[in-house]
């Protein structure tokens, strides 16, 4: 059985499998996979250990869900598995830090 056209939230009828023209085009994610970026079994074990020892966000005290590299792996790959370079963060604090870092890197590299 064929797929049917759908109605986008903007009211336009859209062909099956195609995005509506009201939606911005999504660029493909060109980053290497998480494993290729160093988030392997060794990292997963260390991450679990850090969260077990420090279950609260280092910034706000909320339950931690992420382990953050204080010195980003991008600049200091040698500190990837060094405990003193790690801290637990909650989702909110982690996302805020990531957004700040991305903006800073774009400015530094001549982007937006």
Span 54-81, pLDDT tens digits: 999 999 999 999 999 999 998 999 999 9
Q: Which of 10-14, 17-21, 82-86 has the lowest mean pLDDT?
A: 17-21
Q: Residue 68: name the closest of 98, 44, 40, 41 by CA.
A: 98
Contact of 66 with 43, CB cutoff 8 Å:
no
State CA 58 to chain mean position distance.
18
Where exactly are the structural domains of the chain?
54-112
Region 81-108: mean pLDDT is: 93
Q: Is residue 67 packed enough to be buried (19+ CB in 10 Å), middle (13-18) or exposed (0-12)?
A: buried
pTM > 0.85: yes or no: no
Residue 4: predicted pLDDT: 83
Tokens of 63: 């339950």
**Alpha-carbon gap, residue 63 to 81, rounded angstroms:** 22
Region 25-37: mean pLDDT is: 77
Q: DSSP letter at 61?
A: -
């Amino acid at each position: 059985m064929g797929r049917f056209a759908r109605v986008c939230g903007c009211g336009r009828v859209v062909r099956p499998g195609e995005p509506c023209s009201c939606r911005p085009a999504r660029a493909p994610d060109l980053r290497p996979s998480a494993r290729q970026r160093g988030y392997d079994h060794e990292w997963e074990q260390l991450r679990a250990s850090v969260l077990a020892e420090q279950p609260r966000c280092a910034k706000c005290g909320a339950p931690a869900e992420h382990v953050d590299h204080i010195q980003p792996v991008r600049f200091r790959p040698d500190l990837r598995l060094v405990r003193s370079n790690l801290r637990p963060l909650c989702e909110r604090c982690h996302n805020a830090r990531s957004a700040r870092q991305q903006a800073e890197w774009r400015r530094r590299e001549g982007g937006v």
